[in-house]
Structure 1
Amino acid sequence: MNSILNKNLFFVKEHVGMFKAANNYDIYNPDTQEMIMTCRENNLGFFTKLLRFTDYKRMTPFCVEIRTEAGEKVLTVKRGIAFFVSTVEVFDENDALVGRFKQRFFSIGGKFNLFDANDNMLCALKGKWTSWDFKFIKDEVEFAHVSKKWAGLGKEMFTTADNYMLQIDERVPSGSPIRLMILAAVMCIDMVLKE
């Protein structure tokens, strides 16, 4: 696992555009305000591009890669066509399956369960229906929090609605695969729940 995932704060900025089909994000270190990773969806098929401009957008497949600024692959997130709920697979830098997360059926506000490669539950992602506020929780312990509200140093630099902050709790051990799963899930909240 890339050591960049041992950070506890990540600022995610979505690329916005009027006619954009691909899901692209830049990930910053909010303390230094420098870009540390990119998240790109490079290989979109023709029909997927077409469907991204319709009401079927949330059902389209995706494959995004997160890379460091130097171009090293950190992880890959893939989903096939989703009719009612999503199951998303997460792969490490060597394309080995790390885990998956599954959307809960009829969840208000959005909810995923995160599983490791052996289908052991790691934690749940729970969100509020009315806002962009999500928490990664297991047994009442919060592993991470995602929000559009941030009072830190990055507030002055990043102020648009398509940006959000991921804060991983310091109790999550360095090198833990759950860090990789949390970052992957954050990249998909927008694509699966919010589109």
Structure 2
Amino acid sequence: MNLAPGWYPDNADPRFVRWWDGTQWTPHTQPRQQQTDAHHMEMQMGGTGQEKVAQQVQRAGAHGAGQGGGSLFTEPVLVVNQKAKLIEMSNSYVIYDQHARHLGTVEQVGQSGAAKALRAFTKLDSLMDVRLEIRDVQGHPVLRLVRPATMWKSKVIVERGDGMPIGEIVQENVFGKVRFAYVCNGMKVGGIYAENWRAWNFSLCDHTDTEVARITKTWQGMAKAMFTTADNYVVQFHRQVPDPLLSMIVASGVTVDTVLSQNQS
């Protein structure tokens, strides 16, 4: 087969695509997407790190976590890996459990052609609205995130897949260790607290400031680190938490990357 390396429809299951490495089909698959802002000029670089999930989980100290229910809202560990692109016009992520099983994806939607061009050739991401959909393994939106354009503090509006409001993730400071508040119905129900000024590892707390989960950034590999801006994160729950805090934490692994990567560009 004279095909360039890339994702192609999986003959075994039409809901998925499979990675062709240029010479053979690999075991790496991911859900087939519907609407996205992906563009053919983005030049995706390699896969999404499915084969390295076990290493990511171990490095984050999340190995040995209990078994979950097989969904984005019931697994104790979520591995959020950004798709690496040499030219990036949209944000795309794949979410795995601790055993490298697909749980869902995240896709950016709603960008205009002008916005994509601006992203491709400038570092002005923070001046544009960002809309993301967190989708389950069947491709159905379960959470929608909107980060309005900003030049200072950021916030992310979190909605259910059907558009029902859940709350907001609000940046509380600019200098020092960054903090975000989970705000639902005007009340703070928890927060995100960076552990250093570079803000790549986070403590996620409930309304009593008790840590209930953690976000740990994991290394994406030399090639991706040198040539792309793709980032990978492990989200680990220490215990079960109720909604709306649960939905806010699930959204957090994507939120911190979208907000902080753009603000530091």
Q: 1:19 to 1:3 in 2, by over 3 A?
A: closer
Q: 1:140 to 1:177 in 2, by over 3 A?
A: closer
Classify the secondary structure of the residue corresponding to 1:105.
coil
Give the corresponding residue for 1:148.
217
Instruction: Tell me if the contact between 2:129 and 2:147 (Cα under 8 Å) persists in the aligned partners.
Output: yes
Matched pairs, number = 182
Amino acid of the structure 2 residue aligned with 1:58: S
2:235 paired with 1:166: yes
Give the corresponding residue for 1:81.
149
CA distance in 2, matches of 1:47, 1:108: 34
Instruction: Tell me if the contact between 1:114 and 1:121 (Cα under 8 Å) persists in the aligned partners.
Output: yes
2:246 paired with 1:179: yes
1:99 deviation in Å? 0.3
Give the corresponding residue for 1:34.
101
CA distance in 1, matches of 2:164, 2:118: 29
CA distance in 2, matches of 1:110, 1:51: 27
CA distance in 2, matches of 1:7, 1:34: 11
Give the corresponding residue for 1:125.
192
CA distance in 2, matches of 1:72, 1:114: 24
Instruction: Tell me if the contact between 2:214 and 2:236 (Cα under 8 Å) persists in the aligned partners.
Output: yes
1:148 deviation in Å? 2.3
Amino acid of the structure 2 residue aligned with 1:92: R
> Out of 99, 106, 115, which is 1:48 matched to?
115
Q: Runs of 4+ in structure 1 displaced over 4 angstroms? A: none
TM-score of the two chains, using structure 1 as the length reference: 0.84
CA distance in 2, matches of 1:134, 1:29: 19
- Pick the structure with greater CA Rg: 2
Classify the secondary structure of the residue corresponding to 1:16.
coil
Provide Cα deviations, 1:95-150, integer angstroms capped at 9, x if missing partner. 1000001112324232211111x11101121112235201112434102100025x
2:202 paired with 1:134: yes
Instruction: Tell me if the contact between 1:74 and 1:92 (Cα under 8 Å) persists in the aligned partners.
Output: yes
Instruction: Give the share of equivalent positions with the same residue, in percent.
Output: 25
> Out of 13, 19, 22, which is 2:90 matched to?
22
Instruction: Tell me if the contact between 1:48 and 1:61 (Cα under 8 Å) persists in the aligned partners.
Output: no
> Out of 82, 107, 131, which is 1:63 matched to?
131
Give the CA RMSD over aligned residues.
Answer: 2.0
5 Å-filtered alignment, 1:105-124, equals 105-116=173-184, 118-124=185-191
2:258 paired with 1:194: no
Amino acid of the structure 2 residue aligned with 1:120: M
TM-score of the two chains, using structure 2 as the length reference: 0.63
Unaligned runs of 5+ in 1: 150-157
1:48 deviation in Å? 1.9
CA distance in 1, matches of 2:217, 2:252: 16
Give the corresponding residue for 1:154.
none
